[in-house]
Amino acid sequence: MSRKENLCKYLILGLCLALVLTFLPPAALAAQPDDGALIETVGPADETEEESEVSTVETYTTTEKGMEIIREFEGFRTMPYEDDGKWYIGYGTLCDPADYPHGIGQQSAQQLMDAAVKVAEGQVNKLLKDYKISVTQYQFDAMVSMTYNLGTQWINPDYRLCSYLIDGIENYSEPEVVNAIGTWCHQGTSVLESLVRRRLREAYLFLYGEYENDGPDMYGYINFDAAGGKVPSSTVFYPLDRPYGELPVPVQNGKEFVGWFQADGRELTADDIAVPRMEVSAKWEGAAVTTPKPKPDYSKWVNPYKDVASSDWYFTYVRELSYEGIIGGYPDGTFKAANQVTAGEALKLVLLAAGYRESSGGEGRHWAAGYLDEAVTLGCLAEGEIEDLDASIDRLTIARVAAVAMGLQPKFGDSPFADSEDGYIITLYDEEILNGVIVNGQRYYYPDRGINRGEMCAIVSRINQWNYVVEPEPEETGYIEYYGKKYPILQNVPKATYKPDLFVLDGSRMYYNDENYRTAWGIDISSYQENVDWNKVRQSGIEFVFIRIGYRGYAQAGTLNMDRYFQQNITGAKAAGLRVGAYFFSQAINPAEAAEEARYAVQALNGQTLDYPLVYDWETISADGARTKNLSNSVLTDCAIAFCSVVEQSGYIPMIYYNTPVAYTHYQLERLTDYDVWYAQYAAKPTMYYDYRIWQYSDSGTVPGVKGKCDMDLAFIPY
């Protein structure tokens, strides 16, 4: 048996032991930066530690071995160096080069590194605490190494590694974990070999606890160019010297995928043996090009700029745009990458890269006036927002212009940037148009600053390479694709008919501009909001409220508990004139317990009327020892039916609450069509295929009279 085969054998055994001994069970699903799906972690009734009956998670610090691997990855540099427009020194810590005219010693560099590691430790420990995730010391070291290098961008349930930890890493195979970590190997859209090696080393440290390992020798990767289509992940890692197996299938509206082809015209198949690296392109039926379009031969480009060197971080972007005639320099032969971009220049570059036509200002007008007119017409800018096209333009405005011009909608939720929660900036980050800069483990975009020519080239290049493709409707394929899996459409479950383009979010209020619906605004409340001023809530325009009656603990005891503010809340809400519904947070493991929960809720109501339904709220829990772990889909559905039956027999309207992962991967929806649905997804537009009557669209709304944040709801057909 070869050394590699021996190592594979021991690594697999190590994985089995690690998974048995160290990881926790599921909560919510997610996706990562190159993933197509977006999975939410939602719920109106997240229980406190006091209520959970589960102990807290250990707080970790990085071991010396963990520090050594960071030092190895970062390397040591005495003098300040520039990367992506920012300056670093020592072990890759951000600096002002003016502070180090004579460089830095290793001891001082170590102090800077120690401070940055402390920040990364705090961020990883917060993730573990927030989701009650238990890990080993070596897994913590691997995550700190990633955070030191990447910042907090991966610590987001929308990305794979974070979602795997929340869901329970034991549910995922070695290749899935390797890909969840390995995918963070890009600078912009380019794969960097140094990052590939680092990510694979970190992946094998995470999996097997080996600080010195052969991870880079065990996996290779393929870059998939979808040629106008979309793939869930453009870079995929495969175990070396084995058949590739399943290859991703891209989609492109109106075209049929033929296969993946190498530059020499050979087709890649699932039976081909994995090699260290490969580039392939998609071929589509009816496409004019029968072989992959070769990338431009930039070796033929003659650099006309005496102030642009191949070592400059922006060199590849300037070369690409100059080669294609998109940008130019100054008459004296310079490019002046540090010069600020004017509003006129920015509008022209962004709009042309997004596919709009050349425009002239017209006689007697500024040369860029036509681009300004186009931006106003598109809705990128308000009339009169930009008065001086020769003045600088801030980065927030650039993001808004770029996103709208590309046809992208703003996204809401956790931002990867510490200094901006703007929906357009989040969208462009997800589309890999904007990167920002990492400072002490935090990612910053600096939305109020101007932008220089080098930075502008990076954004324009990424827009230029970006392709917007409309995904096929489920009816065209016969299935719903969710997080890389396909779920056949349930023909007897009604489809949602809401039109995405009619949703508008204004602050905390969601509007649905369809005259066929008379929508109503609502919130849901529990003891977490403590004392609510219900008169202020009603005066703010809120029309209905769901109030938590109680909950079942999710430890093995599974005790029933009353929400300590329930009676106060229902009395106050009714007195203020609000329409009232209620919900019970369930952790039932059989129909008898679910019926018991319903009777408990009905008894607590003590004959009080409800305008809105009494809701069955079952959610996945990630805590160690959660009683509902591995509950089968059929039993869960039985529980929902048992709860709703008791509610209905008691004279109340039953309803079921769920989010996207619970709907698609847990409930048997075809058995629940007799009940209305309260659907949770924190987004600018809902994506659930099946019908629902109420949408919980945010968990961070602000409403007068409510302390802190609260969940926001929109009823499409008010009760």
What is the C-alpha to C-alpha distance for residues 286 and 295, in angstroms, rounded to an integer? 21
What is the C-alpha to C-alpha distance for residues 708 and 528, in angstroms, rounded to an integer? 9
- Phi, psi dihedrals of residue 468, rounded to the nearest 5°: -95, 125
The question of whether 524 is a catalytic residue gets the answer yes
Given the residues 51, 619, 676, 711, the one annotated as active site: 619
Q: Name the DSSP class of 8.
A: H
Say if residues 84 and 435 touch (Cβ distance below 8 Å). yes
What is the C-alpha to C-alpha distance for residues 539 and 537, in angstroms, rounded to an integer? 6
Angle between helices 395-405 and 343-353 (to 10 degrees): 30
What is the C-alpha to C-alpha distance for residues 43 and 470, in angstroms, rounded to an integer? 30
Say if residues 443 and 153 touch (Cβ distance below 8 Å). yes
Given the residues 524, 563, 638, 699, the one annotated as active site: 524
Instruction: Tell me whether residue 165 is exposed, middle or buried, using C-beta atoms within 10 angstroms of its C-beta: 0 to 12, 13 to 18, 19 or more.
Output: buried
- The enclosing H or E element of 618 equals strand 614-618
Say if residues 663 and 647 touch (Cβ distance below 8 Å). no
DSSP class per residue in 298-343: GGG-----TT--TTSTTHHHHHHHHHTTS----TTS---TTSBPBH
Say if residues 654 and 616 touch (Cβ distance below 8 Å). yes
Say if residues 493 and 663 touch (Cβ distance below 8 Å). no
Q: How many CA atoms lie within 13 A of 255 on its CB side?
A: 21
The question of whether 713 is a catalytic residue gets the answer no
What is the C-alpha to C-alpha distance for residues 658 and 666, in angstroms, rounded to an integer? 10
Q: Which amino acid is at 283?
A: K
Question: What residues contact 573, with CB distance under 8 A and at least 6 apart?
Answer: 532, 534, 537, 545, 547, 580
Say if residues 393 and 342 touch (Cβ distance below 8 Å). yes
Per-residue tokens: 473: 């409707």
Catalytic residues: 524, 619
